[in-house]
């Protein structure tokens, strides 16, 4: 069972470069999320989606864009990377539909360094 898969696992960027993180889930989940994890800050929600073709802003959306063209994939884009975006990024998914009472499934994380 693959669950939630994130690619790439590691990436080093220069300031101003762009990149896309891919999240794929094979559980037919409706809801998908992108979080960033920083020391002392816990997990902060960047963007999320409650279904194919939908996206919404989370707590810290600036500098990021997302797309959910297919139900199983949720892409996180950085158009012009900044050092402040150095972080570990986690994708998560859940069946959803009526609120979150069950388990959120997480990917293993993608470590991004912006020089």
Using CB under 8 A as the criterion, which residues of the chain lie in contact with other proteins when the complex forms?
Answer: 4, 31, 33, 35, 40-45, 48, 50, 58, 90, 92, 96, 99-104, 106-109
Instruction: Tell me how far, at minimum, the Cβ of 14 lies from other proteins, in Å.
Output: 26
d(CA 20, CA 90): 13
Cβ-based nearer residue to other proteins, 82 or 100: 100
User: Residue written as tokens 């762009």?
Assistant: 18
Instruction: Tell me how far, at minimum, the Cβ of 20 lies from other proteins, in Å.
Output: 19
What are the CA-CA distances from residue 75 to residues 6, 30, 41, 65, 69 (Å)? 10, 15, 23, 8, 9
Cβ-based nearer residue to other proteins, 42 or 62: 42
d(CA 29, CA 54): 13
Cβ-based nearer residue to other proteins, 4 or 24: 4
User: Cβ atoms within 10 A of the Cβ of 2, count?
Assistant: 8
Cβ-based nearer residue to other proteins, 34 or 81: 34
Instruction: Tell me how far, at minimum, the Cβ of 84 lies from other proteins, in Å.
Output: 18
């Amino acid at each position: 069972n693959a669950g939630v898969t994130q690619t790439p696992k590691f990436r080093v960027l220069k300031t101003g470069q762009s990149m896309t993180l891919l999240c794929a889930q094979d559980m037919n989940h409706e809801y998908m999320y992108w979080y960033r994890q920083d020391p002392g800050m816990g997990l902060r929600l960047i963007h999320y989606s409650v279904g194919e073709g939908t996206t919404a802003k989370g707590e810290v959306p600036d500098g990021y864009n997302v797309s959910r063209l297919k139900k199983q994939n949720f892409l996180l884009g950085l158009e012009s990377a900044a050092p402040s975006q150095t972080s570990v990024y986690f994708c998560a998914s859940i069946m959803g539909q009526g609120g979150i009472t069950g388990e959120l499934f997480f990917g293993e994380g993608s470590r991004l360094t912006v020089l």
